[in-house]
Chain A
Amino acid sequence: MNNHKLHEQFKQSLIKEKRWVRFYQLLISIAFFSLWEIASRSKWIDQLIFSSPSKIYTLLVENVVDGTIFVHIGYTVFETVLGFIIGTLLGTILAAILWWSPFLSKVLDPYLVILNAMPKVALGPILIVAMGPGMNSIITMGAIISVIISTIVIYTSFKNVDGNYLKVMQTFNASRFQMFKEAILPASFPTIISTLKVNVGLSWVGVIVGEFLVSSKGLGYLIIYGFQVFNFNLVLMSLLIIAIFATIMYQLVELLEKRLIKSE
Chain B
Amino acid sequence: MDFLTVTNVHHTYFSKEAATEALQNINLTINKGEFVSFIGPSGCGKTTLLSIIAGLFQPTSGTVKIENQAVYGNSDLSIGYMLQQDYLFPWKTIEENITLGLKLLKEDNQNFSKVTSDLLHDVGLPPIGEKYPRELSGGMRQRVALARTLAVDPKILLLDEPFSALDYQSKLKLEDLVANKLKEYGKTAVLVTHDLGEAIAMSDRIFLFSPRPGKLHQIFEVPEDLRQLTPFDVRSHSSYSPLFQIIWKELENLEQS
Instruction: Give the B-binding residues of A (Cβ under 8 A).
Output: 162, 164-165, 167-174, 178, 182-183, 186-187, 189, 261-264
Contact = CB atoms under 8 A, between A and B. Distances in A.
Contacts, number: 53
A171 B54 contact: yes
Contact of A168 (B75, B87, B91): B87
A174 B101 CA distance: 9
B87 A178 contact: no
B100 A182 contact: yes
Q: Which secondary structure dominates where chain B touches chain A?
A: loop
Interface residues of B, number: 22
B136 interface: no
A162 B89 CA distance: 11
B81 A168 contact: yes
B152 interface: yes
Q: Which secondary structure dominates where chain A touches chain B?
A: helix
Contacts of B251: none
A171 B79 contact: yes
B155 to A, nearest CB: 12
Contacts of A183: 89
A183 B90 CA distance: 10
B87 A172 contact: no
B56 A170 contact: yes
B133 to A, nearest CB: 8
B87 A165 contact: yes
B85 interface: yes
B101 A263 contact: no
Interface in B90-106: 90-92, 100-101, 104-105
Contacts of A264: 90
Nearest to B96: A182
A164 B88 CA distance: 10
A180 to B, nearest CB: 13
